[in-house]
Amino acid sequence: MPQIIFLPHEELCPDGAVLEGEKGISVLNLALKNGIDIEHACEKVCACTTCHIIVREGFDSLEEGDELEEDMLDKAWGLEPDSRLSCQAIIQDEDLVVEIPKYTVNMVSEGH
C-alpha cells in the first residue's frame, strides 16, 4: 500500500502524519478516517474548495482532475500547479506527500 505523508499543519496535524493509503480511496477520506479533519463543506461532491490540498510529491500518479474540479480550484486560496481537491484525489499505487494549506475559502462559514 502506498504511504500518504501529510506535512505538518498547525491546527489539523501539528506533527504531520504518515498513513497507509488504500488504492481507490480519496485523500480526504483517508485523512478523515485517521483524525485529520480537513474541512469539506460540500460533503465531498466537488462543489467547493474547502478540501484543497497541494500534492508536493506523487502528483503525476493521480488521475487528472476533471473540468468541474479545475473550475473549483480556480477559486481556491493559495492555488498552485499541483493543487487538487482532496475529495477528488484518488490514491493510486505511488506514495504521496500532501500539504494542507494554512487557509481555506468557505463561503458558508464566512457568510458570503
pLDDT at site 103: 79
Rounded CA-CA distance 14/63 in Å is 29
Summarised one tens digit per residue, pLDDT across range 48-82 is: 999 999 999 999 999 999 999 999 999 998 999 99
The answer on pLDDT for 7 being more than 70 is yes
In a domain, 107, yes or no: no
- pTM summary value: 0.92
How many structural domains compose the chain?
Answer: 1
Share of the chain above pLDDT 70, in %: 93
Summarised one tens digit per residue, pLDDT across range 17-52 is: 999 999 999 999 999 999 999 999 999 999 999 999
In a domain, 111, yes or no: no
Summarised one tens digit per residue, pLDDT across range 101-111 is: 987 766 444 44
Q: In the block, which residue shows the cell 505523508? A: 5
In a domain, 89, yes or no: yes
pLDDT at site 108: 43
In a domain, 47, yes or no: yes
DSSP assignments along 1-69, one per residue: --EEEEPPBTTTBTT-EEEEPPTTSBHHHHHHHTT-----TTSSSSS-STTEEEEEE-GGGSPPP-HHH
Share of the chain above pLDDT 90, in %: 89
pLDDT at site 105: 67
CATH number for the domain including 34?
3.10.20.30
The boundaries of the domain holding residue 19 are: 3-99
Rounded CA-CA distance 18/16 in Å is 7
